[in-house]
Structure 1
């Protein structure tokens, strides 16, 4: 165990708070932080479980690095600028390139996913994107 492990909850909490503030409709989205790892140099990898209620839009946004994940439960449509809409269901994975505006529209059951973000140090996990 790292001797700095006591700092991890503080850093992760700040990262998740910044992420929640950076998305257009953070209400109705529950994020459970799992870890924040410093890697590679100048970056960190943030892992969360995100839950979005039924029939919602997460809010159009971008990430400074790759956004990838795995659908734990539910269904949604991933709306990535410049790409065809992608239907997601339990067991599917996805990836959104850095800086590309995207949104998620949940279905009747809502969505629970494991999300992983690669973030440059000093940058927010997410930034709202114009429509």
Structure 2
């Protein structure tokens, strides 16, 4: 019988202590200088991520809950389970779970290799 696969612990990021984030997978992209990172994020009711950016595209999908997504220069989106979203590289945005339960989203990032995945804005 084979040993169960052990997933390495997620590296800490700027959201540590605010949101629960689990890195699902990470690997090289076919785009030179880019990597693909997939993250499951759980946002408690009433909690916001805070305004932040990523060094590449974020392609996301709401798995559970209702999340408002404020994206600089656009109208705020209200996203429900089953909705997708796209955040361009470097564009500030802020996600907030509006309840009634914990929001869950799966995000895939195509980002510059070696850069922090998240940069919180003051």
TM class, shorter-chain normalised? 0.7 to 0.9
Higher helix share: 1
Shift of residue 59, structure 1, vs aligned partner: 1.2
Q: CA offsets per residue over residues 93-130 of structure 1, 9 Å max, x none?
A: 00110011100111122310111111101211011123
Does 113-122 or 88-97 show the bigger shift?
Answer: 113-122
Distance 1:107 1:33 in 2: 23
Q: What residue number does 1:6 align with?
A: none
Q: What residue number does 2:4 align with?
A: none
Considering only aligned residues, what root-mean-square deviation do their CA atoms show, in Å?
1.6
Does 74-83 or 101-110 show the bigger shift?
Answer: 101-110
Q: Does the 8 Å CA contact 1:75/1:87 hold for their aligned counterparts?
A: yes
Q: Does the 8 Å CA contact 1:76/1:110 hold for their aligned counterparts?
A: no
Question: Which of 22, 25, 29 is 1:35 aligned to?
Answer: 25
Q: What residue number does 1:13 align with?
A: 10
How many residue pairs are counted as aligned between the two chains? 114
Unaligned runs of 5+ in 2: 1-6
Question: TM-score with structure 1 length normalisation?
Answer: 0.80
Distance 2:10 2:22 in 1: 10
Distance 2:60 2:67 in 1: 13
Unaligned runs of 5+ in 1: 1-8
